[in-house]
Amino acid sequence: MTTRLAGLAALTLTLVGAACGLVGPSLAATATISFAKGSPLLKEPPLKIVAMAPKGSLHNPYNGNAQMAKAGHKLFMSYGCSGCHGGGGGGGMCPPLINGVWIYGGSDDTLFRLISLGSNRLHKAGYHRQAIENVVAPMPEMGVVIKHASDVWKIITWIRSAYQGPPAHKY
Ligand code: HEC
């Protein structure tokens, strides 16, 4: 119960933050979304990035980087993703992440938004289910606990590195 309340409080703060335009001047002025090395955007909370970035504009700066993938796996474990998706991402109570099925599509942009917003808010943002996995349930809004956009990118880098599906469905 306490955890649930804490989660709600965090969510409320996040929503208020987004509504009150806490986006700093440097961010508001950013015309294109770039996560190039040293970009201040990497340190921003994922939910802020999702709110400011036009659909389809988010690209992972770390894909293919083995060191980032390793760091991503540590984050995958520490943020509790593994509790639902299994330590190797092969699924458990919840769908596998490393097979060739991508529920909403497998682009960097879609995965960043799904992980940050969770299923319900992703649906509200206009994304639709394109495939069915072995389990159909809502993904929680992990953006309320993940600190930095770079953490999400590292995790996605790891998911890509662990991919075991058919080559045609690899992103
Ligand atoms: C409480 C369980 C739970 C937790 C914790 C969780 N997920 Fe999920 N995740 C789900 C469910 C359920 C789905 C399916 C969503 C749907 O069908 O709308 C999903 C879907 C996904 C997908 C899409 C898979 C596909 O086949 O397209 C990715 C990627 C993902 N989660 C990553 C993560 C990451 C990264 C974390 C940790 C930051 C995480 N999840 C934490 C339950 C969870």
For 2-169, CATH number? 1.10.760.10
CB atoms within 10 A of CB 97: 26
Centre of ligand 1 to C-alpha 24, Å, is 30
Whose alpha carbon is nearest atom 20 of ligand 1? Answer: 139
pLDDT of res. 55 = 93
Say if residue 2's pLDDT is above 90: no
Centre of ligand 1 to C-alpha 37, Å, is 27
The residue-averaged pLDDT of 37-41 equals 92
Q: Tell me the best of 50, 79, 136, 139 to mutate to test the pocket of ligand 1, counting ligand atoms within 8 Å of each CB and taking the most.
A: 139
Centre of ligand 1 to C-alpha 82, Å, is 10
Terminal CA-to-CA distance of the chain, rounded, Å?
A: 39
Q: Tell me the best of 58, 82, 84, 145 to mutate to test the pocket of ligand 1, counting ligand atoms within 8 Å of each CB and taking the most.
A: 84
> In this predicted model, what pLDDT tens digit does every residue of 104-158 receive, in sequence order?
999 999 999 999 999 999 999 999 999 988 888 999 999 999 999 999 999 999 9
Say if residue 79's pLDDT is above 50: yes
pLDDT of res. 126 = 95
| 16, 113, 122 from 109: Cα distances, Å | 24, 6, 12
Q: How confident is the model at residue 4 (pLDDT cuts 50, 70, 90)?
A: low
Instruction: From 46, 55, 12, 36, select the one nearest 155 (Cα to Cα).
Output: 46
Say if residue 92's pLDDT is above 90: no
Chain centroid to CA 145: 11
Surface-to-core class of residue 96, CB atoms within 10 Å of its CB (0-12 exposed, 13-18 middle, 19+ buried): buried
Lowest mean pLDDT among 14-28, 68-82, 83-97, 128-142: 14-28
Taking the domains of the chain in order of start, what are their residue ranges? 2-169
Whose alpha carbon is nearest atom 21 of ligand 1? Answer: 139
**What distance in Å separates the CA atoms of residue 136 and residue 62, rounded to the nearest whole number?**
29
Say if residue 20's pLDDT is above 50: no
Percent of the chain with pLDDT over 70: 82
CB-based pocket (< 6 A), ligand 1: 76, 79-81, 83-85, 94-95, 97, 101-103, 111, 114-115, 119, 133, 135-140, 142, 146, 155, 159
